[in-house]
Amino acid sequence: MVNPALSPTAYALLGLLVFDRENPEGMTGYELKQRADFTLRYYWVSPAMSQIYTELRKLSEAEFVETAPSEGPTRYRVTELGEEQLQTWLFHGEVGFPILKHPVALRLLMGRLSTPDQLGSMLETHLDDLAARRADLQGVRDMLGDEHRVRYAAMVADWGLAYYDSEAQIVAGLRERLEGMD
């Protein structure tokens, strides 16, 4: 099988499988989705189920995963080749800068078309959303604890928490700045 340049999302899923490597059972597409919802969504995306199956097919064709023989649902596990290629992908070649699509900032940019009041309530809503998101991630962080096995996941969760805190602080500042306008 050839290697038709997999997408970052494919590698992200592969990473989740590697994480679960001690478990020789492998994971189903469905379980992979749960995992993605649990961690991946904070830093990347949580692909739709249909996308998960698509990526699993591609990973399978590239022989980066294999299906574990078992009755019932199809279980996937990473192959030697898969782990090897994941390592190569991870730390060789361009990592790239984060992509941000920030609908709140986009709207604030066009603030002239609105009123400080309306903008303020938009920021308020964003603060609520941030708090909810932060609480979710805190739940994840708590579940990770200080187990050595998951120390990198914990680091990234801490990163996320700090990011949400900083964003909340910045937005609160902007809201105040709006109050002193017009």
In the bound complex, what is the minimum distance in angstroms from residue 153's beta carbon to DNA? 20
What letters, b where the CB count within 10 A reaches 16 and e where it falls short, cover 68-100? Answer: eeeeeebbbbbbeebbebbeebeeeeeeeeeee
With CB under 7 A as the contact rule, the residue among 23, 25, 37, 49 that binds DNA is: 49
Q: Is 122 in the site for a copy of itself (CB under 8 A)?
A: yes
Cβ–Cβ under 8 Å, residues 124 and 93: no
In the bound complex, what is the minimum distance in angstroms from residue 9's beta carbon to DNA? 3
Distance CA(28)–CA(67), nearest Å, equals 9
**Residue 26 touches which of DNA, a copy of itself, none (Cβ within 5-8 Å per kind):** none
Nearer to DNA, 27 or 123 (CB): 27
Q: Is 139 in the site for a copy of itself (CB under 8 A)?
A: no
**Residue 97 touches which of DNA, a copy of itself, none (Cβ within 5-8 Å per kind):** a copy of itself
Cβ–Cβ under 8 Å, residues 13 and 27: no
Q: 3-state DSSP call for residue 129?
A: helix
Q: Is 39 in the site for DNA (CB under 7 A)?
A: no
| CA nearest to 141, candidates 151, 149, 127, 132 | 151
Cβ–Cβ under 8 Å, residues 63 and 82: yes
Cβ–Cβ under 8 Å, residues 60 and 4: no
**Residue 48 touches which of DNA, a copy of itself, none (Cβ within 5-8 Å per kind):** DNA
Interacting stretch for DNA, rule CB under 7 A, among 50-58, 120-128, 130-138, 158-166? 50-58
Nearer to a copy of itself, 70 or 84 (CB): 84
Residue indicated by tokens 């609160």: 172
Kindly list the residues in this chain that would bind a copy of itself in the complex (CB under 8 A). Answer: 8, 12, 15, 18-19, 39-40, 42-45, 83, 86-87, 90-91, 95-114, 118, 122, 125-126, 129, 133, 151-153, 155-156, 158-160, 162-163, 166-167, 170-171, 173-174, 177, 181
